[in-house]
Structure 1
Amino acid sequence: MNNSKSETGCFYGVGVGPGDPELLTLKAARLIREADVVAYLCNDQGHSQARQIAAQVLKEADPSQTEMPIELPMCEDRRIANAVYDEAAILIREHVSAGLTVVFLCEGDPLFFGSFAYLLNRLQSDCRCMVVPGISSPQAASAALSLPLTLLKESYSVISGRHSDASILNTLGSYDSVVIMKAGKSRQRILKLLAESGRLAQASYLEYIGRDNERIVNDVTTLDREAPGQAGPYFSLFVITPQRRTEDLG
């Protein structure tokens, strides 16, 4: 350990899962309750999905606990986002250096498409940092569908809907099971790629997994009929698995 790191303070990335508060791990709940400072990303109206998931646990925390909302504008400009993370890292470093425990609430898992990674990159060289894993959306989607993601020798890949057509087609053609994350803005494009790859009938579509407004569509061809050309929400994904599995489950 670097000698400059605080011996008592610590920065935790804590996964709170995809949406259902009951999917919080016991360790996550304990650390959230015991933290001196709880940080989380929020929009310009102060709303944080991660905080909402952990709301009940936060009510059980000591009254001296302070919250540190980090407002992250919804834009594609990485310079703006980097400036936000830079400023947040400075504040977190000060708290940890003062011997405080800072917990950063992360939707899903902290190191799986998680914003925590940007703060970890800025802080791990001079702050004590630890990670508590959480249930990620592919695992929650698999459970919601009661569908195995992989069996026996099946291959599995996760890709973002932000990737190029060629990358997504290559993944669909190379792996038995595929999860396409961040499908919202690319929903119509992904539907076309699923059809082009011959895997449309193998796909399911999910939104807001584990939340009150969870939506599951097993026949994804209905999406284009319901809302032609319409994008989906940010918290959405496609799960594509092989159809012929009965002989493997015998």
Structure 2
Amino acid sequence: MMDKGILYGIGVGPGDPELLTTKAVRLLQEADIIAVPDKGSGEKTALNIVKDYIVGKELLYCSTPMTRDAQLLDAGYTAAAEELCALLEQGKTVAFITLGDPTVYSTYIYIHKKVVTKGYQAQIIPGVTSFCAVAARLGRSLCEGSERLMIVPASHKEVDDCLQVDANFVFMKAGREIGALKEKLSAYDLLDGAAMVENCSMETERVYEDFAKLEQPSGYFSVVLVKGGQTQ
């Protein structure tokens, strides 16, 4: 009987190909097939990061639509999981690439759960998170001593309840909500010292040491770091 294959969910980091781990590079080179998240339009950022490591590899594009419709999302994840399981049944090793780390707001984790539930082997390979890369780019710590760190998806819901907590903050995916976020931080006296990096470690990177001075729109891959009011 043919052994079943293994699915690897590989975090490819924030953008710089040199920030891939050596384990990630090895598994990408050993994999039979590279699974690529496909949102339907625009550049395949994760694929662009790893392209030099996977020359000649077979690619499988998995539809992961940009929507908040839970039913549409689940249908997409289910379809992707079924495609992957069919390959694993054939004994193929598949590497599914995802930006940052697979355990932090990634598309992959939903597919991972479905594949494991179907009885197939899947492993998560950690990657450098965008907010760690942003902190390094700014030369700042995320948290020191007994400081707490709160990670918030700024584009998903109101942030008032978070800002009432004594903590340092990471606001991810902040692009569409930049204006509203600035207003909220100002209202809570947290704007001073806030900083942002857009497209960290990519060719289109933009750094804003003083977030308060940002006047232009920013993209989806914008991360804002905020020092908590009671810990400054």
TM-score exceeds 0.5 = yes
- Inter-partner Cα distance in structure 1 for 2:189 and 2:230: 14
Give the aligned residue type for 2:134: A
- Inter-partner Cα distance in structure 2 for 1:92 and 1:118: 13
- Inter-partner Cα distance in structure 1 for 2:231 and 2:80: 48
2:157 is aligned with 1:153: no
- Inter-partner Cα distance in structure 2 for 1:181 and 1:124: 28
2:224 is aligned with 1:238: yes
Structure 1 residues 245 and 38, CA gap change in structure 2 (3 angstroms): same
Secondary structure of the equivalent of 2:74? helix
Contact 1:157 1:175 in 2 (8 A): no
Once the two structures are superposed, residues 143-198 of structure 1 have per-residue CA deviations (whole angstroms, 9 ceiling, x without a partner) of: 00110111111111101113433xx2332231331101111111111111100110
2:105 is aligned with 1:113: yes
Contact 1:202 1:242 in 2 (8 A): no
Shift of 1:46: 6.8
Partner of 1:188: 179
Q: For structure 1, which runs of at least 5 residues remain unmatched after alignment?
A: 1-5
Greater mean alpha carbon deviation, residues 80-89 or residues 128-137: 80-89
Q: Which has the larger radius of gyration?
A: 1
Partner of 1:134: 127
Contact 2:12 2:101 in 1 (8 A): yes
Secondary structure of the equivalent of 1:51? helix
- Inter-partner Cα distance in structure 1 for 2:189 and 2:42: 43
- Inter-partner Cα distance in structure 1 for 2:129 and 2:210: 23
Contact 1:202 1:243 in 2 (8 A): no
Give me the TM-score of the superposition, normalised by structure 2.
Answer: 0.92
- Inter-partner Cα distance in structure 2 for 1:135 and 1:32: 16
- Inter-partner Cα distance in structure 2 for 1:106 and 1:86: 17
- Inter-partner Cα distance in structure 2 for 1:138 and 1:175: 19
Partner of 2:206: 215
Give me the TM-score of the superposition, normalised by structure 1.
Answer: 0.86
Partner of 2:31: 35
Partner of 2:83: 91
- Inter-partner Cα distance in structure 1 for 2:41 and 2:151: 32
- Inter-partner Cα distance in structure 2 for 1:87 and 1:105: 17
2:20 is aligned with 1:20: no
- Inter-partner Cα distance in structure 1 for 2:130 and 2:183: 23
Secondary structure of the equivalent of 1:80? helix
Partner of 1:205: 196
- Inter-partner Cα distance in structure 2 for 1:46 and 1:32: 23
- Inter-partner Cα distance in structure 2 for 1:74 and 1:211: 21
- Inter-partner Cα distance in structure 1 for 2:39 and 2:231: 43
Q: CA-atom RMSD, angstroms?
A: 2.0
* Number of residue equivalences: 230
Shift of 1:86: 1.3
Give the aligned residue type for 2:143: T
